[in-house]
């Protein structure tokens, strides 16, 4: 497989590059293969949005039109050199990407689909109406010759003008999706809340994916006038936007090969099956529906299934990632909570009259609490007493109605990803992993904050980007070893047994180098043996200097490891103290366990 990557792919690229030397047929050369090259750039970009980020844009024809018309008008009216046209087309694509993405991607829901569809249709209308600029429905025919360094790039040779850029676009996409950007896209798609609490800004990454895609579409559009030396409004229809989506989905998302296969098949479809033209839209629609439900991974998925059936050995082959992992293992792990700004025993986290109301219900009511540095502090209380809500308030998932949260005396506010950056990490009551990602990639999302490389670093795969990736991977494996999951690094997270999923969540949370770790019922659903492991790991985390804030119902665990306990009932604090004090507290016994004979449940001796 590695052999193929090193030699086979460059050979295929060279072969594809030399096509104009063998193919005389002009229609095939520029109208089919030229178009395939242009559309492939768009489909690769769209894959970032649909395949990786899980958003839908059904207005890429509009962005394409913006690039194409900008380029055509500049060439025709102002005799602008082509590279400048491309630059303008790309910038306009990015600009409209921002205009569409900024409002729609802040929100949850189908807003991007809604506004992009509207955009596509409006652009087509404007192109039709702005006659002085676009010549309206008659289109622009005055496209000058395309030359570079005195070489004619028209007709059959247009392919050479665009092909190199298609290759670059595909490499660029691959660079992005194999980096922390790609992991962030997938994490946000799988579990936005957990991704945000790992420090990934939902808005920033969804917007990055969409704007990158929009810029690529504008770029591709600026080449388009040269395909037929003509552009007119009917091309840039809603159906074209849908075709781009069909190319992507039918070929198979999240795969370069899929992008190529899908684009090629949909472009040649009307030529191969001439008789279908009357039913073209219905066939497109049917194909999309069929792919969605019967070929969820598209043509590529089909090919992979066939390959696995024919060569079962290939399916279980060791991927390159695993060998890289083996090299990086063995680093001694030490947790590194932020340099001590407070001494052990001093307040780390303070809640001051923290209150949240959902309509008429006050879920947390004027909660005052202090968590001291270096301690394990438990928050207990009956179901519905506001424990998880408190954690959600601290981590920014809810905004308090009144009151405040302080970390080292400074106010904690903002979105979950901002709060994660302050050094607060958490796990979830209902395990919230990125199930389709590998175990090690889950932890690498937790290490999000350690990546500084920008867009160009990823696209160009600079030493900086490679170094960051390598050291993060080593760190992730070390953290997995810390919780005892090192040997499962390449497994998909959803395949882990439940108890190990809880441990993985802790490893991911430790990835952000927190000074405070919030554990929301880490022992829920575990067997008694697993609870023992969990106990040991929580102590290990504390001993490494990370303050632990624990919500738990297993009283044996709580009473044995906590330094301090706070008890909630109906959103209010009813007691705070050492385990011994809490076990003796009348109010706690009444509220939590019922009055008579319940007290012994609180004792650590009950299981002995």
The H or E element spanning position 365 is: strand 361-372
Residue listed under structure tokens 């409209």:
96
Contact 565, 378 (CB under 8 A): yes
Site string for another protein, 97-126 (x = CB under 8 A): --xx-xxx-xxxxxx-xxx-xxx-xx--xx
Q: How far is the CB of 509 from another protein (least distance, A)?
A: 16
Residue placing its CB nearer to another protein in the complex, 223 or 284: 284
Among the listed residues 69, 181, 205, 284, the single contact to another protein using CB under 8 A: 284
Per residue, the 3-state secondary structure of 464-493, as one string, reads HHHHHHHHHHHHHHHHHHHHCCHHHCCCEH
Residue placing its CB nearer to another protein in the complex, 103 or 330: 103
Residue placing its CB nearer to another protein in the complex, 230 or 238: 238
Q: For Cα atoms 48, 54, 60, give the angle at the middle one, nearest 5 degrees.
A: 55
- Each as own residue / partner, the long-range contacts of residues 295-298 (CB below 8 Å, 24 or more positions apart, any chain) are 295/250, 295/252, 297/252, 297/253, 297/255, 297/258, 298/249, 298/250, 298/251, 298/252, 298/253, 298/255, 298/258, 298/261, 298/262
Residue placing its CB nearer to another protein in the complex, 2 or 278: 278
Residue 166, SS3 per DSSP: helix
Among the listed residues 132, 272, 278, 597, the single contact to another protein using CB under 8 A: 278
Residue listed under structure tokens 């958003």:
55
Q: How far is the CB of 356 from another protein (least distance, A)?
A: 9
Q: How far is the CB of 467 from another protein (least distance, A)?
A: 35
Stretch near another protein under the rule CB under 8 A, chosen from 47-55, 148-156, 436-444, 590-598: 47-55
How far apart CA 313 and CA 414 sit, in angstroms, is 50
Residue placing its CB nearer to another protein in the complex, 317 or 361: 361
How far apart CA 388 and CA 369 sit, in angstroms, is 15
Scan residues 303-362 and list those touching another protein (CB under 8 A). 358
Nearest CA-CA partner of 398 in 414, 422, 420, 377: 414
Size of the site for another protein (CB under 8 A): 50
Those residues with Cβ within 8 angstroms of residue 82's Cβ, 6 or more apart along the chain or in another chain: 71, 75, 146, 148
Q: For Cα atoms 379, 385, 391, give the angle at the middle one, nearest 5 degrees.
A: 50
Site string for another protein, 409-448 (x = CB under 8 A): ----------------------------------------
Number of H helices and E strands in the chain, helices first, is: 30, 12
Nearest CA-CA partner of 452 in 98, 190, 216, 199: 199
Those residues with Cβ within 8 angstroms of residue 397's Cβ, 6 or more apart along the chain or in another chain: 193, 196, 197, 416
Those residues with Cβ within 8 angstroms of residue 243's Cβ, 6 or more apart along the chain or in another chain: 266, 284
Beta strand 147-148 with 151-152: parallel, antiparallel or unpaired? Answer: antiparallel
How far apart CA 565 and CA 579 sit, in angstroms, is 6
Q: How far is the CB of 189 from another protein (least distance, A)?
A: 8
Residue 536: how many other CB atoms lie within 10 Å: 12
Q: How far is the CB of 118 from another protein (least distance, A)?
A: 5
Scan residues 377-396 and list those touching another protein (CB under 8 A). 392
Residue placing its CB nearer to another protein in the complex, 280 or 464: 280
Nearest CA-CA partner of 425 in 548, 509, 527, 337: 509
Residue placing its CB nearer to another protein in the complex, 108 or 608: 108
Residue placing its CB nearer to another protein in the complex, 103 or 532: 103
Among the listed residues 242, 472, 477, 558, the single contact to another protein using CB under 8 A: 242
Residue placing its CB nearer to another protein in the complex, 267 or 376: 267
Q: How far is the CB of 106 from another protein (least distance, A)?
A: 7
Q: How far is the CB of 324 from another protein (least distance, A)?
A: 31
> Which residues share a beta bridge with 140?
231
Residue 542: how many other CB atoms lie within 10 Å: 19
Is 289 near another protein (CB under 8 A)? Answer: yes
Stretch near another protein under the rule CB under 8 A, chosen from 96-104, 140-148, 199-207, 504-512: 96-104
**Per-residue tokens: 298:** 């598209």
Contact 485, 449 (CB under 8 A): no
> Which residues share a beta bridge with 380?
567
Q: How far is the CB of 595 from another protein (least distance, A)?
A: 30
Is 239 near another protein (CB under 8 A)? Answer: yes
Q: How far is the CB of 293 from another protein (least distance, A)?
A: 6
> Which residues share a beta bridge with 406?
350, 411
Residue listed under structure tokens 């690529």:
216
Scan residues 177-206 and list those touching another protein (CB under 8 A). 193
Residue placing its CB nearer to another protein in the complex, 417 or 564: 417
DSSP E strand stretches across 245-359: 347-358
Stretch near another protein under the rule CB under 8 A, chosen from 49-57, 304-312, 469-477, 486-494: 49-57
Among the listed residues 58, 269, 478, 496, the single contact to another protein using CB under 8 A: 58
Contact 122, 62 (CB under 8 A): yes
Is 245 near another protein (CB under 8 A)? Answer: yes
Residue placing its CB nearer to another protein in the complex, 179 or 253: 253
Site string for another protein, 122-141 (x = CB under 8 A): x--xx-xx------------
Q: How far is the CB of 569 from another protein (least distance, A)?
A: 20
Among the listed residues 79, 293, 313, 383, the single contact to another protein using CB under 8 A: 293
Site string for another protein, 510-529 (x = CB under 8 A): --------------------
- What is the widest separation between alpha-carbon atoms in the chain? 96
Stretch near another protein under the rule CB under 8 A, chosen from 242-250, 326-334, 470-478, 503-511: 242-250
Residue listed under structure tokens 């939902």:
202
Is 56 near another protein (CB under 8 A)? Answer: yes
Stretch near another protein under the rule CB under 8 A, chosen from 25-33, 278-286, 375-383, 403-411: 278-286
Residue placing its CB nearer to another protein in the complex, 159 or 244: 244
Residue 366, SS3 per DSSP: strand
Among the listed residues 13, 19, 304, 397, the single contact to another protein using CB under 8 A: 397
DSSP E strand stretches across 220-330: none
Contact 34, 227 (CB under 8 A): yes
Interface residues with another protein (CB under 8 A) are 50, 54-56, 58, 99-100, 102-104, 106-111, 113-115, 117-119, 121-122, 125-126, 128-129, 193, 238-239, 242, 245, 249, 278-282, 284-286, 288-289, 292-293, 358, 392, 397-398
């Amino acid at each position: 497989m590695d052999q193929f990557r090193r030699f086979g792919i460059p050979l295929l690229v060279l072969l594809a590059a030399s096509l104009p030397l063998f193919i005389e047929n002009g229609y095939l050369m520029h109208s089919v293969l030229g178009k395939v090259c242009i559309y492939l750039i768009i489909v690769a970009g769209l894959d970032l949005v649909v395949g990786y980020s899980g958003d839908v844009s059904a207005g890429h024809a509009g962005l394409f039109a913006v690039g194409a018309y900008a380029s055509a008008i500049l060439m025709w009216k102002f005799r602008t050199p082509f590279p400048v046209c491309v630059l303008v087309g790309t910038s306009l694509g990015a600009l409209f990407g921002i205009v569409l993405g900024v409002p729609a991607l802040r929100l949850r829901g189908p807003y991007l689909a809604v506004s992009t569809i509207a955009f596509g249709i409006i652009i087509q209308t404007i192109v039709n109406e702005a006659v002085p600029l676009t010549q309206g429905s008659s289109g622009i025919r005055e496209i000058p010759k395309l030359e570079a360094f005195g070489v004619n790039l028209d007709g059959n040779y247009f392919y050479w003008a665009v092909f190199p850029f298609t290759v670059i676009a595909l490499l660029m996409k691959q660079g992005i999706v194999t980096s922390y950007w790609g992991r962030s896209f997938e994490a946000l798609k799988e579990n936005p809340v957990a991704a945000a609490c790992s420090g990934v800004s939902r808005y920033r990454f969804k917007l990055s994916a969409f704007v990158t895609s929009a810029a690529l579409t504008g770029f591709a559009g600026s080449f388009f006038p040269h395909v037929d030396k003509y552009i007119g409004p009917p091309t840039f229809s809603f159906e074209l936007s849908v075709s781009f989506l069909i190319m992507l989905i039918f070929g198979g998302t999240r795969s370069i090969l899929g992008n190529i296969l899908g684009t090629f098949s949909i472009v040649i479809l009307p030529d191969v099956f001439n008789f279908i033209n009357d039913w073209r839209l219905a066939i497109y629609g049917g194909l999309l529906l069929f792919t969605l439900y019967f070929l969820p991974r598209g043509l590529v998925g089909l090919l992979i299934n066939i390959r696995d059936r024919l060569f079962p050995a290939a399916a279980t082959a060791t991927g390159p990632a695993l060998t890289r992992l083996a090299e990086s293992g063995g680093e001694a792990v030490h947790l590194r909570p932020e340099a001590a700004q407070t001494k052990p025993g001093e307040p780390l986290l303070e809640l001051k009259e923290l209150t949240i109301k959902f309509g008429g219900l006050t879920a947390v009511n004027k909660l005052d609490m202090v968590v001291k540095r270096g301690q394990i502090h438990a928050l207990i209380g009956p179901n519905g007493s506001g424990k998880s809500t408190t954690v959600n308030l601290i981590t920014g998932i809810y905004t308090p109605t009144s009151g405040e949260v302080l970390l080292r005396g400074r106010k904690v506010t903002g979105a979950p990803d901002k709060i994660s950056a302050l050094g607060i990490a958490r796990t979830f009551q209902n395990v919230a992993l990125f199930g389709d990602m590998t175990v090690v990639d889950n932890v690498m999302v937790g290490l999000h904050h350690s990546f500084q490389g920008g867009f160009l670093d990823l696209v160009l795969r600079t030493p900086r980007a490679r170094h960051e990736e390598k050291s993060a991977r080593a760190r992730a494996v070390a953290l997995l070893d810390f919780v005892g999951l090192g040997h499962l690094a390449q497994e998909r997270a959803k395949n882990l047994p439940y108890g190990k999923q809880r441990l993985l969540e802790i490893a991911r949370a430790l990835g952000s180098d927190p000074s405070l770790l919030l554990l929301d019922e880490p022992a829920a659903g575990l067997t008694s043996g697993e609870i023992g492991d969990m106990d040991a790991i929580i102590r290990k985390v504390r001993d490494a200097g990370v303050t632990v804030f624990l919500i738990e119902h297993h009283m044996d665990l709580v009473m044995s490891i906590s330094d301090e306990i706070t008890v909630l009932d109906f959103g209010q604090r009813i007691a705070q103290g050492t385990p011994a004090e809490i076990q003796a507290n009348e109010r706690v016994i009444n509220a939590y366990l019922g009055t008579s004979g319940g007290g012994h449940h609180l004792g650590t001796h009950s299981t002995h």
